[in-house]
């Protein structure tokens, strides 16, 4: 990676964190954003999801623990293991989506839908044998967070009860 690309990527990450911190002030989301951007970038370049990102997201998820999220995480894990056994996705993607479901709960379904839509749009005519799913999960998480940040205030405004 050239110096120019590293600077652009660093600026992008810094800008997302700065906007998030001043507008929404959720420290755990900032850690999730940094970890998922790191995992998505490494997956795009090397087709592996680093365990460090998965462990960091797992630790953050434990601070946001609920039994409901644990049940969703178990369901997601059992569903994704079938895809792993059929060689449709790697086990790093399974681990990443499982720990993300611990943090996001039911929102993981939106993240998966956003990721699949992006894969279909961006790889429509490409016949790739391998697709870096973690890269698209990264965009799914970012889209989900931005939608949550902007939808929740509107929801509280229109439905205050």
pLDDT in tens, the chain (161 residues): 677 677 777 777 777 767 666 665 577 888 888 899 889 989 999 999 999 999 999 999 998 888 998 999 999 999 999 888 887 788 999 999 999 999 998 899 999 999 989 988 887 666 667 888 999 999 999 888 888 777 765 555 444 44
Instruction: Tell me which residue range forms the domain holding 58.
Output: 3-158
Q: With contact defined as beta carbons under 8 Å apart, do 37 and 138 qualify? A: yes
pTM exceeds 0.85, yes or no: no
- Total tally of structural domains belonging to the chain: 1
Residues ≥6 apart with Cβ < 8 Å to 143: 111, 114
């Amino acid at each position: 990676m050239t110096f120019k690309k590293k600077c652009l990527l660093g600026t992008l990450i810094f800008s997302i964190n700065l906007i998030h911190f001043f507008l929404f002030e959720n420290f755990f989301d900032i850690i999730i954003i940094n970890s998922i951007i790191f995992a998505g970038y490494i997956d795009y370049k090397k087709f592996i999801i680093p365990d460090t990102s998965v462990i960091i997201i797992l630790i953050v998820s434990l601070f946001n623990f609920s039994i409901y999220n644990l049940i969703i995480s178990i369901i997601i894990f059992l569903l994704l293991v079938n895809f792993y056994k059929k060689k449709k996705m790697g086990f790093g993607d399974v681990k990443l989506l499982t720990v993300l479901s611990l943090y996001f709960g039911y929102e993981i379904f939106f993240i998966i839908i956003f990721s699949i839509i992006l894969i279909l749009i961006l790889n429509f005519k490409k016949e790739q044998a391998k697709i870096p799913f973690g890269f698209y999960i990264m965009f799914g998480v970012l889209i989900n967070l931005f939608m949550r940040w902007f939808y929740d205030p509107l929801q509280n405004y229109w439905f205050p009860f």
